[in-house]
Amino acid sequence: MYKHLIVNIDELWLKGKNRKHYFKTLREHVHLVIKAHNTEEKVSIRNDQQRLVAESEAGFSKDCINSLAKVPGVSTVQPAISIEREKGLILPTIVEKLKGELGERITTFKVRCKRVDKTFPHGSMDLQRELGHFLLKEFSQLKVDVRNPEIMIDVKVMQDNIFISTEKLKATGGLPVSSSGHVITMISGGFDSPVASYMMSKRGCKQDFIFFYAYPYVGEEVKEKILSICSVLGQFQKGCRLWVVPFGEIQNTIAKDCYEEYRTILFRKYMVETANLLARRVKAQAIVTGDALGQVSSQTMQNMSVMDKFSEKMILRPLVGFNKIEIIRLSQKIGTHDISVIPHDDACSLFSPKHPVIKADYVYMRNYSMEFDYTKLMEKALDESEVYRIDVLGECEEVIK
């Protein structure tokens, strides 16, 4: 196990005066993840110019490294060996490491040296050349490939030590969670909303999830599915919550009161309004949905703009320009795909009108809301919600009221 991790940070170059805050936020998140994996061990994390360096005597597990690679704001994670700042130690360390790692299939390599501390007397280019030369001699199977090497040997000369690493995990990137605000993400069991959540995690949004649970029209298995999805999405968050809002009664009431073709869009309207009520309660600034323009009837330009009129908070639609296949691919990448494909009862299909309205009339919907005031019903539903807390590793726990 590696005792050192170099956590490289994304988009730091875009930051000016707020860089310190940005660093602090990310560092807290990294610390939470490492502590969640290494509960007993003493871990130190220090800022090292453009990066964070974590150190643990007991070492970092693969799981811990993979979790760190999900932290928004981290660009890459490099497990590293730390040696003293002596040039003579570099080559033997690399040789020993490569002996353990080089199978028959690895035939090309590249050495990349970087002097973070310029007081080190040997130039990066010289070191690269020299190390490359010796490695070619030591391992007859190896050839240099500077463009596309199968193994990249990274040597970083720091102020107090030298880091050697051969692995670099690409991480989520983007901005640290909480650096760009707090949103309520409307989550369902499909492909879209989990991907929308991931997109907003990447852009530094702290999220709370809201799921509209249409019991008795759908059953426990749907709730379990949502919990599984949120468990994946929570790994991109710095601790978040899920509200499971009982919505069957409201849907049934709407279905009774409205024109059949307006059912879906009215369900949607009251979901957005309930999400707004929650946003007010938890002081969130926006609502996130998985809408993609034109995908289904409720996502036409007209219907989306009507929805905006009923939402006090801004509605963010990170997938608005995505094709379905692009969304599905992203869901595979983030790990929600295999949960989303599990078939489940969908209340909407039971209620769904034969011809859902695609150009909703704002005036009808406004008059409807004035005639039938569901505010109390929505408040009651929120009060009766089951609330789950989800930690940085995605562990869900119900909050006992």
Partner 1 sequence: MIYLDHAASTPIVESALNIYIKSLREDFANPSAAHKLGKSSMKKVERARQLILKSLKGSKKDQLIFLSSATEANNLAIKGIKLLPSDRVHYSVGDHPSTSEPVKSLNSQLVEIPLLEGGVIDEAKFLESLDKDSKLVVLSHVNNQSGNHYDILSLGKKVKDKFPNIHIHVDGVQGLTKVETNLSSLIDSYTISGHKIGAPKGVGALFIKDGVEVETQLHGGGHEFGIRSSTVNTPLILSLCEAITAGLEDVITNNKKVKRINSLMREELEAADLGITFPFSLDDTSPYILSFLLPSISSDIVLRHLEMKDIYVASSSACSSKAKGFNAGFDAMKIDQSKHKFVLRTSFSKDTTTEDIETFVKEITNIIKEIKRL
Contacts with partner 1, residue ranges (CB under 8 A): 215-217, 219, 252, 255-256, 343-345, 350-351
Q: Tell which residue, 80, 75, 71, has the closest CA to residue 28.
A: 71
Sequence-distant (6+) residues with CB within 8 A of 81 are 2, 3, 4, 93, 97, 163, 164, 165
Pick between residue 157 and residue 265 the one whose CB is nearest to partner 1. Answer: 265
Q: Angle, nearest 10°, between helix axes 375-383 and 263-282? A: 60
Pick between residue 33 and residue 222 the one whose CB is nearest to partner 1. Answer: 222
Question: In the bound complex, what is the minimum distance in angstroms from residue 384's beta carbon to partner 1?
Answer: 14
Pick between residue 52 and residue 266 the one whose CB is nearest to partner 1. Answer: 266
CA–CA separation, 233 and 207 (whole Å): 10
Pick between residue 92 and residue 219 the one whose CB is nearest to partner 1. Answer: 219
Question: In the bound complex, what is the minimum distance in angstroms from residue 230's beta carbon to partner 1?
Answer: 22
Q: Tell which residue, 163, 11, 199, has the closest CA to residue 90.
A: 163
Pick between residue 140 and residue 349 the one whose CB is nearest to partner 1. Answer: 349
H or E element that contains 245: strand 240-246
* CB of 37 closer than 8 Å to CB of 31: no
Q: Which amino acid is at 295?
A: Q
Question: In the bound complex, what is the minimum distance in angstroms from residue 137's beta carbon to partner 1?
Answer: 56
Count the neighbouring beta carbons within 10 Å of the beta carbon of residue 111. 23
Question: In the bound complex, what is the minimum distance in angstroms from residue 174's beta carbon to partner 1?
Answer: 35
Question: In the bound complex, what is the minimum distance in angstroms from residue 189's beta carbon to partner 1?
Answer: 12
Question: In the bound complex, what is the minimum distance in angstroms from residue 212's beta carbon to partner 1?
Answer: 16
In three state form, how does the secondary structure of 345-376 look? Answer: CCHHHHHCCCCCCCCCCHHHHHHHHHHCCCHH
Pick between residue 47 and residue 352 the one whose CB is nearest to partner 1. Answer: 352
Partners of 246 in beta bridges: 213
Question: In the bound complex, what is the minimum distance in angstroms from residue 252's beta carbon to partner 1?
Answer: 8
Pick between residue 346 and residue 361 the one whose CB is nearest to partner 1. Answer: 346
